[in-house]
Amino acid sequence: AAYYKHLMPSVVKGLLAAIDGGQLGSDVRGGEIFLLRRDALLVMVQVLERGCGFTQVLCKGLELQETSCHHVEAGAVEEIMDSALGDCTLSSAPPALPWKNPWTINTLEPLTKIPATVYSLADTQLTGIIDRSENADELPRFFARALLWLL
């Protein structure tokens, strides 16, 4: 939940700028739903209402705990987005045609990139670092510095 809490302000800011700039179409209306992806995070954003210079959105973070189905879904979303938005790293992606959705078995239509900031989601392991004897002697000093840095 902390990742989504940190992500949402920049997502909303970027999404509203994209809506106002016409990157999501010329007529975004209430009820439209957008799916955003950042690393392992999927966010569903629904436009609740729009008019007279304001836009009201509802953001929902989707399944942060990675399960096998989440991994497959997120991978498929990433493959579609990368191929359509120019960061294609997968050779299996079909070429994007301006008049046809090349992914005929889904309803995703990649529109744009939105800048968003979030804490890094990294799996860091200290195996082999803190259990070595020469590092174990320095651990109390490092811990004290880290604690002072946090305070």
- Digit-coded pLDDT (tens) for 81-131: 776 666 544 444 445 555 555 556 667 777 888 888 777 766 677 677 767
More confident residue, 150 or 64: 150
pLDDT at 64 over 70: no
State pLDDT tens for residues 7-55: 889 989 999 999 988 888 888 889 999 888 777 678 889 999 998 888 9
> What is the three-class DSSP state of 78?
helix
CB 79 within 8 A of CB 106: no
Backbone angles phi, psi at 99, to 5 degrees: -105, 0
Q: Which ranges of 1-151 does DSSP label H, i.e. alpha helix?
A: 2-20, 68-85, 133-136, 139-150
Does the pTM surpass 0.85? The reply is no
Residue 112: per-residue pLDDT:
82
Q: How far is CA 53 from the centre of its chain?
A: 27
CB 88 within 8 A of CB 97: no
Q: In what order do the strands lie in the sheet with 33-38?
A: 33-38, 41-51, 54-62
Q: Would you list the DSSP string of 41-74?
A: EEEEEEEEEEETTEEEEEEEEE--S--HHHHHHH
